[in-house]
């Protein structure tokens, strides 16, 4: 038997002699290639010329949308010390976007970033296709801004609160994609002290919700209405915030539109120990605490937040923050009520020592661009 084995090993295998890996195994190589990304993809390209030719002439970052690796969003943020941008998806990937020099991210949705270079220069950018769409110049900079859908779609609009707004008067800017000029409007913000949350406005059921800094009341901008009274709706103080006792200072707030509802993620206590997810009750005008997220998980960042339905088990009921422990991503499990490393053993109740990527945004490649 041992002799047979040796003979077996030594004999030339016809399969290998007839078909060489450097030549025409294109289909198998394409299959393997479809599972490789970034650096590993470049290694593939470097192996030899014929392997290079297997690589399709697609954009720089072509993560196959069907791949399980990119079913989940990645966090993109600027590496301030250089012109590099980092993409985090279990590992770091370094991307060079010379066109994004000195630019910052304001909002992220549907695989697109809304960015600005200086005050008046706003543009959309897709890091996956490197597509850039310029918006007309605007005289003032935005305090917070959002957009409604993929900027390649005709019904996409951009809406935001301008930086020159005061507590008494609010200045808004909005534009429909394709229009040549911004529409600027000013509204009376009511006599009360009202400070807007730094979170981007939330577009939900056709109107924009702009929360105040403690998330207890809000203003609604309804672009479909013509008269001032109905276009800018002032909503009174919502006293009953939630049933939560630990209703202290909200150190972090995030809002996301989830299937026609607005979800808020509130982080209280200075060690970020208490995290609650609450659903806005439109009828009662108050937040209602959610016990769990069902099959959803949340991706939250100061530049926009969204929910994903989890196809992969183990991902649901978690909040993915734009926070890091060293080089590892951090998520918060609503089941364990603890922070965990995305990969690896780590669990703790508070967020001490975690680095927050305040200029980062979660982004997910979407089908229509790939």
Partner 1 sequence: MVTTDEKGPLTAKKKSVIIRSCDGDEFLVSESAAVLSTSLKKILEEKEDRLIHLSDIDNKTLAMVIAYLSTHADDGLSDDLKRSFDQEFVSGKEFDVLKYLVLATDTLQVTCLCYTVAKKMADIMKNKLVEWVRREFDIQNDYTPEAEAEIRRLDAWAWDDRQLEDD
CA 87 → CA 20, 69, 75, 315, distances in Å? 36, 13, 6, 20
Q: How far apart are CA 347 and CA 354, in angstroms?
A: 12
Is 101 a residue that touches partner 1 (CB under 8 A)?
A: no
Question: Dihedrals φ, ψ of 51, to 5°?
Answer: -70, -35
Residue whose C-alpha is closest to residue 140's, from 193, 196, 202, 183: 183
Is 312 a residue that touches partner 1 (CB under 8 A)?
A: no
Q: How far is the CB of 357 from partner 1 (least distance, A)?
A: 17
Q: What character string, x for contact with partner 1 (CB under 8 A) and - otherwise, covers 133-162? A: ------------------------------
Is 228 a residue that touches partner 1 (CB under 8 A)?
A: no
Residue whose C-alpha is closest to residue 90's, from 363, 327, 332, 300: 327
Is 64 or 338 the residue whose CB approaches partner 1 more closely? 64
Is 15 a residue that touches partner 1 (CB under 8 A)?
A: yes
The region of 15-23, 104-112, 193-201, 274-282 touching partner 1 under the rule CB under 8 A is 15-23
Is 99 a residue that touches partner 1 (CB under 8 A)?
A: no
Is 11 or 57 the residue whose CB approaches partner 1 more closely? 11
Q: What character string, x for contact with partner 1 (CB under 8 A) and - otherwise, covers 30-49? A: -xxxxxx-xxxxxxxxxxxx
Residue 263, number of CB atoms within 10 A of its CB:
24
Q: How far apart are CA 304 and CA 107, in angstroms?
A: 5
Q: What angle do CA 244, 246, 249 make, to 5 degrees?
A: 115
Is 24 a residue that touches partner 1 (CB under 8 A)?
A: no
Is 32 or 312 the residue whose CB approaches partner 1 more closely? 32
Q: How far is the CB of 17 from partner 1 (least distance, A)?
A: 9
As given in the structure block, the two tokens for residue 218 are 């809000």
Binder among 18, 181, 227, 245 for partner 1 (CB under 8 A): 18
Is 95 or 184 the residue whose CB approaches partner 1 more closely? 95
Is 59 a residue that touches partner 1 (CB under 8 A)?
A: no
Phi-psi bin for 30: left (phi > 0), alpha (psi -120 to 50), beta? alpha
Q: How far is the CB of 314 from partner 1 (least distance, A)?
A: 15
Contact 294, 300 (CB under 8 A): no
Is 15 or 239 the residue whose CB approaches partner 1 more closely? 15
- Total number of residues that touch partner 1 (CB under 8 A): 42
Residue 349 Cα to chain centre, angstroms: 24
Sequence-ordered alpha helix ranges (H) in the chain: 2-10, 14-18, 26-33, 38-47, 49-54, 228-231
Residue 118, number of CB atoms within 10 A of its CB:
10
Binding residues for partner 1, per CB under 8 A?
Answer: 8, 11, 13-16, 18-22, 25, 27-28, 31-36, 38-52, 84, 91-96
């Amino acid at each position: 038997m041992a002799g047979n084995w040796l003979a077996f090993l030594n004999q030339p295998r016809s399969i290998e002699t007839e078909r060489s890996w450097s030549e025409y195994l294109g289909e198998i190589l394409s299959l393997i290639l479809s599972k490789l990304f970034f650096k590993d993809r470049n290694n593939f390209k470097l192996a030899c010329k014929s392997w290079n030719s297997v690589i399709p002439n697609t954009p720089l970052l072509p993560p196959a949308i069907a791949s399980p690796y990119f079913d989940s969003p990645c966090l993109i943020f600027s590496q301030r010390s250089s012109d590099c941008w980092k993409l985090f998806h279990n590992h770091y990937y370094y991307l060079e976007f010379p066109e994004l020099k000195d630019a910052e991210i304001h909002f992220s949705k549907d695989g697109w970033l809304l960015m600005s270079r200086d005050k008046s220069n706003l543009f959309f950018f897709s890091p996956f296709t490197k597509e850039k769409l310029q918006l007309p110049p605007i005289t003032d900079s935005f305090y917070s801004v959002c957009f409604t859908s993929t900027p390649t779609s005709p019904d996409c609009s951009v809406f935001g609160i301008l930086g020159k707004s005061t507590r008494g008067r609010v200045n808004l800017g909005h534009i429909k994609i394709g229009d040549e000029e911004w529409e600027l409007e000013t509204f009376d913000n009511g006599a009360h002290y009202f400070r807007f949350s730094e979170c981007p406005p939330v577009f939900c059921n056709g109107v924009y919700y702009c929360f105040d800094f403690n998330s207890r009341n809000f203003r609604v901008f309804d672009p479909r209405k013509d008269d001032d009274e109905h276009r800018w709706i002032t909503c009174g103080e919502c006293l009953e915030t939630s049933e939560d006792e630990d209703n202290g200072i909200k150190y972090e707030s995030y809002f996301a539109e989830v299937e026609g509802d607005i979800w808020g993620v509130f982080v209280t206590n200075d060690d970020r120990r208490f995290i609650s997810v609450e659903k806005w009750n439109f009828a009662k005008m108050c937040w209602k605490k959610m016990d769990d997220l069902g099959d959803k998980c949340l991706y939250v960042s100061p530049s926009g937040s969204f929910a994903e339905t989890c196809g992969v088990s183990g991902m649901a009921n978690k909040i993915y923050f734009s926070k890091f422990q060293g080089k590892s991503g951090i998520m918060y499990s609503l089941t364990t009520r603890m922070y965990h490393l995305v990969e690896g053993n780590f669990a703790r109740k508070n967020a001490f020592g975690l680095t927050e990527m305040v200029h980062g945004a979660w982004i997910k490649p979407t089908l229509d661009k790939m």
